[in-house]
Chain A
Amino acid sequence: MPTIIFKATERCNANCAYCDVVHKKCVPDMSMDMLRLVLTRVDGYLKAKPDEHVNLTWHGGEVLMLGADYLNAAARLQEECCPSTKGRISHLMQSNLTLLTPELVAALRNLGITQVGTSYDPLDNVRGFGSARDSDSYNRRFFKGVSLLEESGMRWGLIYVVTKKSLAVPGELFHFLTNISNAVMINPVLVHGGNQPGLEITAEEYADFLGEMFKLWWPARDRYGMVRPFSEYYGYYVEKDPGLLCTRSGSCGHNHMYIGPQGQLSHCSASSDWDLVNYGNIEDTTIVEVFGRQKRKDWQERSAVLEAGDCKGCRFWGICHGGCPMDSLAVHGDLRHKSGWCAATKLFLEKYFEPITGLRYEGGCAHVN
């Protein structure tokens, strides 16, 4: 199922310390004409692929800055441009929720959105408004938004980004995050271009941070709902459940693309934010063509290259697949290398996950490249 990371805006009302978009010179929002073209292209793709569904993931910037009128217009355009394929389009969304209003909730419903992905950090001055990064008002508005979402019967999941500031308080953060959400994902901060001074962590630090959290998660794991990567690894170890995150799946070359506000095409949000991949513009091509390009074949061949190269003999190949291709591209300029975060995966699994659970990964993979 293709996932299209879709940025209709790069504007944002927040100033999160680790955000790449904040440091970019923002382009204007996607015009209605461009939005119509995008949806027409999606319709064309789905007509060419009658068995496919598309996940259209609204991303930013902050999506809610587009306003309810824009989102409602998008729903109307979808009716107009995709009359026979709209049933195979699923809209997802990432938002900081600080701008959520009842009108925006209605607009989200109009697009068929019933759950929202968000991010949060309770530590001061990591996420906040303005140059001073005011966390207090940010946090209040975040919880107001979350409460409105829940009151409206919608669900939400939380991404927590581990930074240098997080490292001293893994246990406290674990309890805090699981006290606010039953769907938590714990990711390392991704630093590119030196835009996030003082926040960067090493692979070892990330592994040890996860390890301290894992010691709390494991004994009471049924209580906490989904906590990734723990739930993900556990599911994979026990059931070979192929529900791996895109950075570990080894399959994003088959099914990811990005469309920016001006129709610019790339692989994913990271590849666009870091200016790593350019597939041209949606005005000049179709989605079928983008997925069929030669450049994409490099992505699809990456697994074979890694298995014979950087990842040869690695016991955890089936659960890691060399990590995120963007990391290879950012550091080496090509896709032929494993991610630097692979060291974190390996360290976490060997030092914490396997000794604590008594499980051992014996290789094998339910996922087919």
Chain B
Amino acid sequence: MTDNTKQIFVVPFSEDIIRKAGGRTLAVRAGDPGDIGRIAAAVSADRLHCIEVAADSLSGVRLEKEWRRLPLVFRLKSAGRLLDCIPALEDLRDSAARFYLPATGENITAARVLSSLMVKTGLILDGDGADWDAMEDLLVYDSCGKVAHTSVEPFLYVYTEYKNLQADYNELYLEKEGTFFHCDESGNIALSRAALGKGEFIGTLDKADTIDFAGFSLSAREKRRGPLLKFEGCSLCPAWRVCGFKKSENNKLCAMKQFMTALADAADQVNKNAHNNI
């Protein structure tokens, strides 16, 4: 989990933006995988939170050997044809890169296969359109499976962090408000990717020293507690601590409560097994 007092700036790759960011910690969005090497050269390892790369599918990804230890986060639209990944498989599984997919049924199946192939994967749970039944099945495999595999995010995050009530797996997607600040090519700063898209700016990078980031961090912490002001809905959910949604409205229609409750239970079991060396 990221340090609550630390700000991380999510920026597009440009020499100008990286210069304006000064010594701040950065998550750099690569427009093209070819930018990866240049980003790693421009941002020192102690300042680099991750390099986020958008790509259509895994089958198009080729990792250079010198990128092996870089904190790479790929956001894919789909896994693609897994057979096409075979030539690059050794590089994929040997690298620190993690490949995120939208949580559709097809991608959830692909995540399971990739996990079994020791490729680090993750599923993006940022909307209620996920296939929750398929997610539950994957959770069973991930938490209880005896066959060697890499744990799928955000399961691994939850297993590790769920006892901390401030944990929020949305930070895997660079979306924990108050911690991640999103910037555009002009250096405008917003509180989230969505706010950036809407032009809801809080300031600019070149004047970042005048922005009260601690105040935004505090406001974000208060905002995450918003549903707790009512004794109903999300505030009473047994899965509150692991859920990345926490919206109190429409809780009776909550599609993810069953899955999130299972996720919390799985975290208990994983930790119990680890404690008992199972």
Contacts and interface: CB of A to CB of B under 8 A. Distances in A.
Given A151-B4, A223-B268, A182 B221 contact: no
A223 B265 CA distance: 9
B163 A143 contact: no
A179 B240 contact: yes
B238 interface: yes
Contacts of A180: 165, 225, 228
A179 B229 contact: no
A176 B164 CA distance: 15
B268 A220 contact: yes
A172 interface: yes
Given A175-B238, A179-B241, A122 B268 contact: no
B225 A175 contact: no
A146 B166 CA distance: 12
A181 interface: yes
Given A172-B236, A176-B235, A222 B272 contact: yes
Interface of A: 122-124, 136, 139-140, 143-144, 146-148, 150-151, 153, 172, 175-176, 178-182, 216, 220, 222-223, 225
A148 B236 CA distance: 23
B228 A172 contact: no
B163 A225 contact: yes
Contact of A147 (B218, B238, B240, B267): B218
A146 B236 CA distance: 19
Contact of B225 (A123, A147, A178): A147
A123 B238 CA distance: 18
B36 to A, nearest CB: 35
Contacts of B4: 150-151
B228 A150 contact: no
Nearest to B238: A175
A175 B222 contact: no
B163 A175 contact: no
Contacts of A172: 231, 236
Contact of A222 (B225, B237, B268): B268
17 contacts: A140-B229, A144-B222, A150-B166, A150-B221, A151-B5, A151-B214, A172-B231, A175-B236, A176-B236, A178-B241, A179-B236, A179-B240, A179-B241, A181-B165, A220-B264, A222-B163, A223-B268
Contacts of B5: 151, 153
| Interface magnitude class on chain B | 20 to 34
Interface of B: 4-5, 162-166, 214, 217-218, 221-222, 225, 228-229, 231, 235-238, 240-241, 264-265, 267-268, 271-272
B256 to A, nearest CB: 16
A223 B164 CA distance: 9
A14 to B, nearest CB: 17
Given A220-B268, A223-B268, A175 B240 contact: yes
Nearest to B165: A182
Contacts of B166: 150
A57 to B, nearest CB: 25
A178 B236 CA distance: 9
Contacts of A220: 264-265, 268
Nearest to B264: A223
A147 B221 contact: yes
A122 B235 contact: yes
Nearest to A121: B231
Nearest to B225: A143
Given A122-B235, A144-B222, A148-B218, 12 more contacts: A143-B222, A147-B218, A150-B166, A150-B221, A151-B221, A175-B237, A176-B228, A179-B165, A179-B236, A182-B164, A222-B271, A223-B162
A176 B231 contact: yes
A143 B229 contact: yes
